Amino acid sequence: MSDHNLPYRPRRIHKVLVANRGEIALRVIRAARELGMRTVAVYSEADRDALATRMADEAVFIGPSHATRSYLNTEALLEAARSSGAQAVHPGYGFLSENAAFAQAVNDAGLIFVGPDAATIRTMGDKAAARACAQAAGVPTVPGSDGVLSSLDEALTHAAVIGYPLMIKAAAGGGGRGIRVVRDEAQLCEQMPQAQAEAQAAFGESGVYLERYLPRARHIEVQVLGDGSNAVHLYERECSLQRRRQKILEEAPSPALDAATRQKLCESAAQLARSVGYRGAGTLEYLYDDSRGAGEFYFIEMNTRIQVEHPITEAITGVDLVREMLRIADGEPLRWRQQDIAIRGAAIECRLNAEDPTRNFAPSPGRVEHVRWPGGPGVRVDSMLYPGCTVPPYYDSLLAKLIVWDESRAAALARMARALDEVELAGVHSTLALHRELLQEADVLAGRYHTNYLEAWMQKDREERQ
């Protein structure tokens, strides 16, 4: 019997604390349990009855409902790890997952942070520094300023070379925040101070830089896995259907790439991951611009954590990314060679959020009165919902991720349409109807969309209904 067929025996991590909530907490708990690791959930006042607290081996209360006093409270999380006897902390996504100071505090406490080290998070989490790393590794980047801008005069000098329109982007942070599009010099003069203030308020750092704005580009990201010495890619995801730069629907592989471009783009991501000694699961984000027929791609930033949309990569490659993160953190070298990883079929993910599209996506917390999820071959649902649970108003609005896989993109689209029709959810408003409409749009079905497509489509839809 080969080693791959033997039960996993943890080396250092026998108990892992999940420093998160919701569906990603459940995802980590399940992966850890499959590896023979015990799990510790943490919960705020609002999450006392959360599914993760029921499914984990142990659950520790960490504070009031507001995230600043619970899920963002480093000392409370470390105390929970110490008191429960956990050897490792998995941060999930969001909250402190890309916080270098938190990763360092975990290590300083004698615990294992499931992810890259603090120095890597700090470097690759700073968009300007990440651009410099990409350039040093020979990975193309969007034309823009080099490093953080020190003054408006410096920005104007760079803008004259880059050309308008361009984007002012916060050097820190993520999730689409801290970004402004300016179309001329007057707008740059007006909005740069505002962008700096916004970055300071959101991320505690006022640094910004400039990039050329590509209005019809596609947002494509590449999944990587590394053990600090070696790294591989697990191909790409198409993430262009966005509202206010927040992803709504993702698919893998991208319908826009031919085989040669896919190979070049994905190999560039693996090369960049290797060049920084990346450890764990990470995602390199690119803009792909084929408006001039050349099919150019540019690195824009890296997410040093597991992504919300990781299940579609798991579906097309057969690699359990969260389980691999835990193995690598436990001291095991990367088990995968690049030639062992191949694309099979196509996968789509729809994010169901507690938002009301008919009221400009107003948040919709409340009690879930009824929920029924779809089933059948190739259908997966990642969710923390159950009948009678409460969706609190304090956190991200994600309710569930509906993921489907099939042998071709056309078959996956048909399967997703069928799965969406099976969903029943009562008690809170959601984006379910939006997804059902999207899956009927000719451009979406044909894969003809870009990062500004969804908002233009919703605007047109509103105008037609008036």
Catalytic residue numbers? 305
Task: State how far the Cα of 137 lies from the Cα of 269, in Å rounded to an integer.
Answer: 10
Contact 223, 310 (CB under 8 A): yes
Q: State both tokens at 259.
A: 């085989």
339: left (phi over 0), alpha (psi -120 to 50) or beta: alpha
> Is residue 398 within 8 Å of residue 364, measured between CB atoms?
no
Short-list 235, 242, 249, 192, CA closest to 217: 242
Strand partners, 362: 356
| C-alpha span between 166 and 144 (Å, rounded) | 9
391: which 2 tokens? 């969706």
Query: Residue 34 corresponds to which tokens in the numbers above?
Result: 């499959």
Strand 355-356 relative to strand 362-363: parallel, antiparallel, unpaired? antiparallel
> Strand pairing of 88-90 and 362-363?
unpaired
| Cα dihedral: 137, 139, 142, 144 (round 10) | 20
Q: What tokens were used for 274?
A: 């290797």
Strand partners, 372: 424
Among candidate residues 271, 143, 260, the one with its CA nearest the CA of residue 212 = 143
